[in-house]
Amino acid sequence: MIIDVIASRMRTTGFGAGIWISPVRVSIVSRHRMQFHAADRSKPVPGLARRSKLRSLGKSRNCPKVLCGHQPISPSRIASKCYRESVFDLSAAFPAKIGVDCSNLEILMRVLLALPIAFIIAPIANAGGSDGNPVEGRFDIGGRSIQLTCRGEGMPTVVVDAGMGTAPVEDPGWRGIAAKIAERTRVCLYDRAGLGASDAAPERIRTSADAATDLHSALHKAGIAGPYLIAGHSIGGLHAQVFANLYPEETAGLVLVSSTHPDQIDTWLSILPAPAADEEKAVTEARSFLTSMAVDPSKNEERLDFRASAAQARMLRSLGAKPVVIATHSVHYRMVPGMSEPLAVKLEAATQDMQRRLLSLSSRSKQNISKTAGHGLPHEAPSFVIDNILEAIDLAQPSI
């Protein structure tokens, strides 16, 4: 979460499982789900949209619309290449499957809309286990379900824990990264409680331990055996540290991608000057955000208690010789847009120092620093993230 809210410009596309209704068009977002679009594609039908938000960065401009009469495209091809922003005519996408033409679309859509909504949008849980078969679906962890998808074969199993508010199962950046990792070993994406297709948790306030426990339960319910190499971005890196502390025997190592440090908020607040009537607006806003983040979980979209979560992460003293790879954003990145350069440089220097301190988590740790990319590494520099995960896999395999 290093700057998940302050620098909202880094937000990425996370479609979730909202359903958008129109009598003529659908957007294919996975092999199991469709999104229906109204003519202006701007508003979801009330009561049907999921919690996760549509975001702007990362929208595809390379997926042409498929019109009636054009060459059919398979569902898997649509899902893998053009699901992000393209709107597909249903008859062109599935003529062999459902035998419709443009003139019959309105009738077909009426039939589809008569079906239970859950049938349309809910993927079927497919527990493929650790035999290399794909795993995809919502897995019950005790009265609520967590969305999980896994591909590839091999050990260790890489598990992605994304940044604040991001649902990686349908996030373009993480899906692309996972596709590359799946060529080497098994990789799993999961949506935390309340994100994407995962059910919200009953607790009003959550901690990193809650997130780690949910992930552990979902992996076991899906039959995905450890050890796990947890790749955590931003606040997901804090959750990853807590996971490693709670389940050390099932942790093969960590990849911390521009990760939140347990001391982060307190460190930043100590650097900001005392409040002044004539101070920069950016300083006022940063102080207000950091203070509220520290004391009021309702101020972030996942209702995360940061102080409690930071205390949980500090309990991880060392992973011994298990690999920890630190993938850090560029030293030229500026956390707060509009902040004067001297103070911005001081904040970034402190952030880089906290990143280096994460190296103490293992006797086999390694840090790689991006030359140009900012905090949104999975979307700004996916190849950099892939390289760091592959490096951690190489380091982890001799000990598995």
Which tens digits make up the pLDDT trace of 247-285? 999 999 999 999 999 999 999 999 999 999 999 999 999
8 Å CB contact between 103 and 91: no
pLDDT at 158 over 60: yes
Q: How many percent of the chain have pLDDT more than 90?
A: 64
pLDDT at 131 over 70: no
**112 compared with 325, residue with greater pLDDT:** 325
- pLDDT tens for residues 79-128? 333 333 222 222 223 333 333 343 344 443 443 344 443 333 344 456 55
pLDDT at residue 87, as a whole number = 27
Q: Which residues pair with 140 in a beta bridge?
A: 145
| C-alpha torsion sign, points 4, 7, 10, 13 | positive
8 Å CB contact between 227 and 251: yes
3 state SS of 30 = coil
Burial bucket for residue 123 (CB in 10 Å: 0-12, 13-18, 19+) = middle
For residue 53, what are the CA distances in angstroms to 12, 37, 170?
9, 15, 12
pLDDT at 17 over 50: no
What confidence category does residue 36 fall into, taking pLDDT thresholds of 50, 70 and 90? very low
Domains of the chain: 18-121 (no CATH), 135-399 (3.40.50.1820)
From the CB of residue 342, how many other CB atoms can be counted at a distance below 10 Å? 7
pLDDT at residue 130, as a whole number = 52
Chain centroid offset of residue 67 CA? 32
- pLDDT tens for residues 180-226? 999 999 999 999 999 999 999 998 899 999 999 999 999 999 999 99
Burial bucket for residue 39 (CB in 10 Å: 0-12, 13-18, 19+) = exposed
In the predicted model, what is the mean pLDDT of residues 334-346?
93
Which amino acid, one-letter code, is at 371?
A: K
pLDDT at 58 over 50: no
Give strand ranges (E) for the chain.
25-28, 34-36, 88-89, 135-140, 145-151, 157-161, 187-190, 228-233, 251-257, 324-328, 365-369
Lowest-pLDDT range of 33-47, 278-292, 330-344: 33-47
Structure tokens at 66: 């498929």
pLDDT at residue 350, as a whole number = 98
pLDDT at residue 108, as a whole number = 38
Which amino acid, one-letter code, is at 196?
A: G
pLDDT at residue 125, as a whole number = 59
CA angle 142, 147, 148 (to 5 degrees): 110
List, in order, residues 6 or more apart from 285 with CB less than 8 Å away. Answer: 6, 336
pTM, full prediction? 0.71
User: Residue by residue, what is the 3-state secondary structure of 13-24?
Assistant: CCCCCCCCCCCC
Q: What is the C-alpha to C-alpha distance for residues 279 and 288, in angstroms, rounded to an integer?
A: 13
pLDDT at 290 over 50: yes
